[in-house]
Amino acid sequence: MKTILTFVFWGLIAFPVWSQEIVYRPMNPSFLGGNPYNAAALLASAEAQNDYKEETDGYEEKSELEQLTESLNRQLLNQLSQDLFHQEYGEDSFTVGTYSFGSLVVEITPTVGGLSIDIFDVNTGEQTQIIIPN
pTM: 0.36
Q: Tell me if 81 is assigned to some domain.
A: no
User: Is residue 3 within a helix (H) or strand (E), and if so which, with residue range?
Assistant: helix 2-14
Instruction: Give residue-wise pLDDT tens across range 60-97.
Output: 787 888 888 888 878 877 777 777 666 665 665 567 88
Q: Which domain holds residue 14?
A: 2-45
Q: Tell me if 40 is assigned to some domain.
A: yes
Q: Tell me if 65 is assigned to some domain.
A: no
Q: Tell me if 55 is assigned to some domain.
A: no
Domain count, the chain: 2
DSSP assignment of 68-119: HHHHHHHHHHHHHHHHHHHHHH-SS---SEEEEETTEEEEEEE-SSEEEEEE
Instruction: Give residue-wise pLDDT tens across range 3-47.
Output: 777 767 666 665 555 667 777 777 777 776 677 787 888 888 888
Q: Tell me if 77 is assigned to some domain.
A: no
